Structure 1
Amino acid sequence: MNHEDFDDLVADLQQYVDAKDLEDFSEYSLSLSKNPFHLGVLPESKTVFTSSMKSSCDDDITWYLDISEGRITQAFYDLQGCATSGIAASQTAKMIDGISVQDARQINAQDVLLALGKFPKANHHCAVWAVKSMNLALDLYEKAQRQKTTLNLEGPRIYNLFPRLFGQISKWKDHLTHIKEMGFNWIYVNPLNNVGFSGSLYSIKDYFTMNPIFAQSVEDQKTWTSFQTFIEQCHENGIKVMVDLVINHTAVDMVQEHPTWYKMKWIVKKKQSDAIVMFYDKDEKPSSKKYPEDEFRIVWDVANAYAVNPDNTKELQIWGDLAEIDFNSPDYSEIESYFCRFLDFNLKMGVDGFRCDAAYQVPTPIWRKFISYVKNNYPNAVFWAETLGATMDQYLEVEKAGMDFITTSVKWWDFTAPWCLEQYNAFRKFAPSVSFPENHDTPRFAWETGGRKDTQIFCYLFSAFFSAGVMITSGYEFGFQKKTDVVNTTPEDWGPKKFDISQDIALINEFKKQWGCLNEDGPIKQFEYNNQGILLLQKSSMMEDQKMFLIYNKDWEISNPIYIPDLKYYLDFNTPIYQLTLLGAKMLVTEPCLNRSLKPNEYLLYVQNKY
């Protein structure tokens, strides 16, 4: 066969293949497979939003979207997969390139298939995947925008005013100057509602009546005038107010008034002591064989709030003063109406936000209803989910509810184990977080450290560095060592002061305000170092146009050497690097090699901007 015959054969074969392809694809679809639109990596841009996603057939697509002022100025994609996936992704990129984010959100898989014309039905899932993966990048953009518009680039710096330490609300105004001077822009107050027999702040028996220990009078218990006045005083000082929203349980004292609101279970009790042994759902009634009648009795009754010990499933932690709300109750409309009235009650007093107690124990649709109900009339109201102890699945459910903030577990990190950053970088995609060195449920940090002032300062700084939001519990600034107690704490427990780091907290709060990456939950990366006593941590802004680098001697007892040949390895923009101090100094780094010793608990901070 000569060359001309061979070329003719190849041409005939290509014509045959093209003809067969046209049985399944339109000419336009085939043109995209040969000349794809914007296949590749988007050139560096300060507004790039990137997402990766695998399809059901294990293809992998990565989107690079350049978004400016709500418009997709460029849409690129990179693909590891089959030709049909490439065609669908190429058409999606072409459709969203140059349009607004809002319009891009309206595009669905059917729109892509319609534009492609003829396309194999067996591969329609490629269009679904292309659109779904593109929307993940838009999610990141919208979350970054939400952080900026809602927070005005300033993360919440929260002072937890633990009410049992302060007593009557009429006296709280005396502490406002101190709180303001430390630079806090939020005050969070634990429940002020009237409580049940246990006296616990979280065992609420009447949401609309104030706990008498905080009220000025019987009349004030009903009107909440003193609290409304305090909120006004906070606002005059530029401080917003957040209250606890406890809706997963109430005091058992409320059961008699609303018997159909609560979860019912089979309760196994010991006959002799009446102690609860176990709870069972309706269709799991335990047998007398397992629980002999001479030792146990089994009753169908309202269940207390409880938790099962994961290490021993036969062991329960039972809160006998609490009863769990049943959001599947036939009378759910009454429950919803009650808590909507409570939300209104707070918002009309001027409350700016809600800390959602044990948020992951309340069904997502319930949260969605309440959040939507509030934000339709109060769009700037903030919802902070208390999520400590939640699983990844529970975090995913809470995220779907539209919470503005979640809670981190960094307080328990040893600055070494990988779990903390793995958790942070996974959960930060859902909502920005709030960190703290202690809260009202934990031991006092000053007690845990034996009253060390230097670690008290650093651990607040680290919490402020780690998350968009930061919180302390009242008394942290003075090194209080007695744990707060939701039942027994009184104003007499104020003190003694171990030290006063109020000025240090003020410096840290001012420092946090100045740097965008510290007011966002951008990526955090830990670098390995040959000395286990040294922590190297890099935090970026959401748009990754600012990086802050922390070097910390995590050994609180001995000095540790640090040698870094070139800081540009960790701060790799082609722009100047600056060393920072909390006093506001910003010193240009002219020698990128660092070789020195860090004292116990000593740290260094560096920053670099991309532009």
Structure 2
Amino acid sequence: MIEKQNKLIVYQVLPRLFGNNNNYCVNNGSLETNGCGKFNDFTPKALGEIKKLGVTHIWYTGIIEHATQTDYSAYGIQRDHPAVVKGKAGSPYAIKDYYDVDPDLATHVEKRMHEFEELVKRTHKEGLKVIIDFVPNHVARQYHSDVQPADIAELGADDNQTLSFSPYNNYYYIPQTEFKGQFDLKAGGDTPYKEYPAKATGNNRFDASPNINDWYETVKLNYGVDYPNGGTRCFSPTPDTWTKMRHILLFWAAKGVDGFRCDMAEMVPVEFWEWVVPQVKKDYPDLLFIAEVYNPYEYKNYLQKGKFDYLYDKVGLYDTLRNITCGYESANAITRCWQSLGGLEKQMLNFLENHDEQRIASDFFARDPRKAIPALVVSSCMNTNPFMIYSGQELGEKGMDTEGFSGRDGRTSIFDYWSMDSIRKWRNGGKFDGKKITPEQQHLLDFYRLLLTLSTHEKAISCGQFFDLMYANQNGWKFNEHKQYTFLRKYKNELLLIVVNFDCVAVEVAINLPSHAFDYLQMPQTEGYEATDLLTNKKEIISLLPYKATETSLAAHGAKILKIIF
């Protein structure tokens, strides 16, 4: 019997940024001034280079048409008022048309859906799978579909706008009240933005006056929960929004999409997911559903009742590893972190960067991407669950530009037309020959390629057993449990001893292997085993004994993956 290697490596990328070669972008620049990456920039060569990172899935972020300040009225797309669009390009999470793709990404706007379909085919041809966003909680304030099927009514078309809530409505309303907004309602437009009656705002703001810190550019969708009047749940008969969202999911699944990253899934009642996911999977059984959920008390609910395949591990492992990397927390916290999941750890999506979080190399995080190497090894190797990287992370992208709506905050803007220095130089006009990136960037890229490929190809990592060694290494004479973390992975006769050093100095460590580890993993006891460090291919002799510590050395911010074959 051959065990399934189920380790997923996800590469999140904004096409808008990836293919943009303009190195003279200006703050708050337009599409014409700053340029924009396209679907067609993901050539077979580009996809092949991404695959070399060990990637199995690409999450193309910002595919579905969203509100923008760019005028596409010549193509039959209604203009958005700039007062309710964040940035010149607009937020990928303010969906304008669930049945269309972002025209910014098309080389020929009138053929934009065809170009996306060709992108899906190219991606599959290179042996990679496609994930896109499904944004179920909210839409752009001026949502309007130009291309939805004729037999599907547009969102809100049949709403009773005199009611703040009705289970038959798609939106929530503030009846007989004009949208006010605590910001400039003219903001770049010829006339002020008008909305009557006002609709509730996406971040559960049920009044007509969202402020600049709210998701003011979005409107909350109604899944049958009466939030304005106490939260009564009205799910019978099936709310109209449910059936429309099911149709949208099936529409994109039919395009060949392999999975959905479901934005703010916990803001949508779990009963909807319980209803819709099995129906979609009936037709597309291999389709992945990944949920953005931040409340640990809801994890089991959304996994077991909501039927999700994986959840974000943001408030657990991400926050923990970030704090340890920055020196704010002990490495002991990693053990507490995975134990708190109560067996759900194999269904968590691990990451150190995504579009919401600050770049590792930014001034707001570690400044130096090499300082996160220990965290990277832990996050990608400690279990069989998926691991995700964000485009540019593998090159140490700093995210320290001042792009426009997105200020200098250590994040790469999702709101503005922009170009990433590291990705632009790596792409080098599509040659990917490494001539324009620095030696330091090349070294980091090589490390990511090696580590992530190991995590999918080494069966001890992709489908093996896990054993945390930290409980046996407290107050060690040559092991600092606050700065080092160590664990075992095993598959059949292959054992990996993985140890990382979060400290800024090189260390000699002595690791205790408890008797229980030998019993649990059925490990032989031997004085001198030849081990190969998979990160350097160097060999060393180590002992595997319950009464004698295993000694090795670690570089500053270093790691070892020592492989032993019995």
User: Using the alignment, how far apart are the partners of 1:227 and 1:269 within structure 2?
Assistant: 38
Matched, 1:435 2:350: yes
Matched, 1:480 2:394: no
Residues 586, 242 of structure 1: alpha-carbon distance in 2 compared, 3 angstrom cutoff: farther
Residues 403, 585 of structure 1: alpha-carbon distance in 2 compared, 3 angstrom cutoff: farther
Question: Is the Cα–Cα contact under 8 Å of residues 522 and 544 in structure 1 kept in the other structure?
Answer: no
* Structure 1, 490-499 or 183-192: larger mean CA deviation: 490-499
- Match runs of 1:144-159 below 5 Å: 152-159=4-11
TM-score with structure 2 setting the length: 0.66
Matched, 1:455 2:403: no
Q: Percent identity?
A: 20
Residues 316, 161 of structure 1: alpha-carbon distance in 2 compared, 3 angstrom cutoff: closer
User: Using the alignment, how far apart are the partners of 2:299 and 2:174 within structure 1?
Assistant: 23
For residue 324 of structure 1, what is the aligned residue in structure 2?
A: 220
Matched, 1:515 2:458: yes
Matched, 1:214 2:105: yes
Question: Is the Cα–Cα contact under 8 Å of residues 202 and 221 in structure 2 kept in the other structure?
Answer: no
User: Using the alignment, how far apart are the partners of 2:493 and 2:219 within structure 1?
Assistant: 49
Corresponding residue pairs, total: 430
Question: Is the Cα–Cα contact under 8 Å of residues 331 and 481 in structure 2 kept in the other structure?
Answer: no
Q: CA deviation at 1:168?
A: 1.2
**Cα deviation digits, residues 367-390 of structure 1 (max 9, x gap):** 122211211111111111122x21
User: Using the alignment, how far apart are the partners of 1:315 and 1:537 within structure 2?
Assistant: 47
User: Partner letter of residue 99 of structure 2?
Assistant: F
User: Using the alignment, how far apart are the partners of 1:456 and 1:267 within structure 2?
Assistant: 53
Matched, 1:381 2:313: no
For residue 354 of structure 1, what is the aligned residue in structure 2?
A: 260
User: Partner letter of residue 377 of structure 2?
Assistant: L
Q: 1:599 is matched with which residue: 540, 552, 555? A: 555
For residue 319 of structure 2, what is the aligned residue in structure 1?
A: 412
For residue 232 of structure 1, what is the aligned residue in structure 2?
A: 121
Q: Which has the higher strand share?
A: 1
Q: CA deviation at 1:353?
A: 0.8
Q: CA deviation at 1:268?
A: 11
- Match runs of 1:484-499 below 5 Å: 484-491=412-419, 494-495=423-424, 497=437, 499=441
For residue 445 of structure 1, what is the aligned residue in structure 2?
A: 360
Q: CA deviation at 1:164?
A: 2.0
Q: 1:424 is matched with which residue: 334, 338, 362? A: 338
CA RMSD, aligned part only?
Answer: 3.8
For residue 582 of structure 1, what is the aligned residue in structure 2?
A: 535
Matched, 1:205 2:101: no
Q: CA deviation at 1:394?
A: 5.0
Matched, 1:400 2:305: yes
User: Using the alignment, how far apart are the partners of 1:566 and 1:365 within structure 2?
Assistant: 46
Q: CA deviation at 1:247?
A: 0.5
Residues 300, 217 of structure 1: alpha-carbon distance in 2 compared, 3 angstrom cutoff: closer
Question: Is the Cα–Cα contact under 8 Å of residues 123 and 129 in structure 2 kept in the other structure?
Answer: yes
- Match runs of 1:260-271 below 5 Å: 260-264=169-173
For residue 41 of structure 2, what is the aligned residue in structure 1?
A: 171
User: Partner letter of residue 411 of structure 1?
Assistant: Y
Q: CA deviation at 1:479?
A: 1.3
Residues 583, 382 of structure 1: alpha-carbon distance in 2 compared, 3 angstrom cutoff: farther
Residues 206, 564 of structure 1: alpha-carbon distance in 2 compared, 3 angstrom cutoff: closer
User: Partner letter of residue 325 of structure 1?
Assistant: L
Question: Is the Cα–Cα contact under 8 Å of residues 437 and 460 in structure 1 kept in the other structure?
Answer: yes
- Match runs of 1:217-366 below 5 Å: 217-221=108-112, 224-254=113-143, 257=157, 259=159, 260-264=169-173, 301-306=198-203, 317-328=213-224, 333-366=239-272
Gaps of 5+ in 1: 1-68, 70-147, 277-298, 309-313
Q: CA deviation at 1:453?
A: 4.9
Q: CA deviation at 1:326?
A: 1.0
**Cα deviation digits, residues 132-191 of structure 1 (max 9, x gap):** xxxxxxxxxxxxxxxx98xx3231111112222131101212421211222211101113
Gaps of 5+ in 2: 19-36, 68-79, 144-154, 160-168, 186-195, 226-233, 325-329, 400-410, 426-436
User: Using the alignment, how far apart are the partners of 2:265 and 2:56 within structure 1?
Assistant: 23
User: Using the alignment, how far apart are the partners of 1:558 and 1:250 within structure 2?
Assistant: 49
User: Using the alignment, how far apart are the partners of 1:402 and 1:153 within structure 2?
Assistant: 21
Question: Is the Cα–Cα contact under 8 Å of residues 571 and 608 in structure 1 kept in the other structure?
Answer: no
User: Using the alignment, how far apart are the partners of 2:495 and 2:336 within structure 1?
Assistant: 19
User: Using the alignment, how far apart are the partners of 2:349 and 2:221 within structure 1?
Assistant: 27
For residue 62 of structure 2, what is the aligned residue in structure 1?
A: 191
Question: Is the Cα–Cα contact under 8 Å of residues 10 and 388 in structure 2 kept in the other structure?
Answer: yes
* Structure 1, 501-510 or 582-591: larger mean CA deviation: 582-591
For residue 122 of structure 1, what is the aligned residue in structure 2?
A: none
Residues 350, 441 of structure 1: alpha-carbon distance in 2 compared, 3 angstrom cutoff: same
User: Partner letter of residue 441 of structure 1?
Assistant: D
Please give the secondary structure, in 2, of the residue aligned with 1:443.
coil
Residues 303, 240 of structure 1: alpha-carbon distance in 2 compared, 3 angstrom cutoff: same
Q: CA deviation at 1:473?
A: 0.9
Whichever of the two has the greater Rg, that structure is 1
User: Using the alignment, how far apart are the partners of 2:537 and 2:181 within structure 1?
Assistant: 67
Q: Which has the higher helix share?
A: 1
Please give the secondary structure, in 2, of the residue aligned with 1:244.
strand
User: Partner letter of residue 504 of structure 1?
Assistant: F
User: Using the alignment, how far apart are the partners of 1:599 and 1:266 within structure 2?
Assistant: 64
**Cα deviation digits, residues 279-324 of structure 1 (max 9, x gap):** xxxxxxxxxxxxxxxxxxxx9842112279xxxxx99941101111
User: Partner letter of residue 502 of structure 2?
Assistant: K
Question: Is the Cα–Cα contact under 8 Å of residues 157 and 184 in structure 1 kept in the other structure?
Answer: yes
**Cα deviation digits, residues 218-249 of structure 1 (max 9, x gap):** 3223xx11111111111111111111111011
Question: Is the Cα–Cα contact under 8 Å of residues 66 and 94 in structure 2 kept in the other structure?
Answer: yes
User: Using the alignment, how far apart are the partners of 1:523 and 1:596 within structure 2?
Assistant: 20
Q: CA deviation at 1:435?
A: 1.1
User: Partner letter of residue 534 of structure 2?
Assistant: T
